[in-house]
Amino acid sequence: MVITEALQLSDEKPAVLQIKNTEKSNVIAIGLKKDQVLKKHLSPIPALLVVLKGSIIFEMEGSRTELKEFSTFEIPVNVLHEVTGSTESIFLVIKEKS
């Protein structure tokens, strides 16, 4: 699978593509157009965000972190957060299930 070909960006909402979902892990690709927002949500388990293309703004608890291409970020458990595309962007969210 080529993620950039399989993930169809849309003006209406963030693009989401399930890459892998097993008993042990869940990997999804998310695509955002410039200024598009992945609205506030929680992660019930630890997750790693990996930016594959472009750049994003990760916001939580009043702080903003810009993540550029090939950056990684540990998403904390049960902390409300939001992601905005600074540019057209694609990132992975990798969750290890216990």
Please give the pLDDT value at position 97: 83
Q: Average pLDDT, stretch 37-48?
A: 94
Quick check: helix, strand or coil at residue 80?
coil
Mean pLDDT of the chain: 96
**pLDDT > 80? residue 98:** no
The CATH number of whichever domain residue 70 belongs to comes to 2.60.120.10
Domain interval for residue 20: 3-96
Distances (CA, A) of 55 to 22, 24, 84, 88: 28, 28, 9, 7
**How wide is the angle at C-alpha 15 spanned by C-alphas 80 and 94, nearest 5°?**
55
Domains: count for the chain: 1
Q: What is the pLDDT of residues 1-39, one digit of tens each?
A: 999 999 999 999 999 999 999 999 999 999 999 999 999
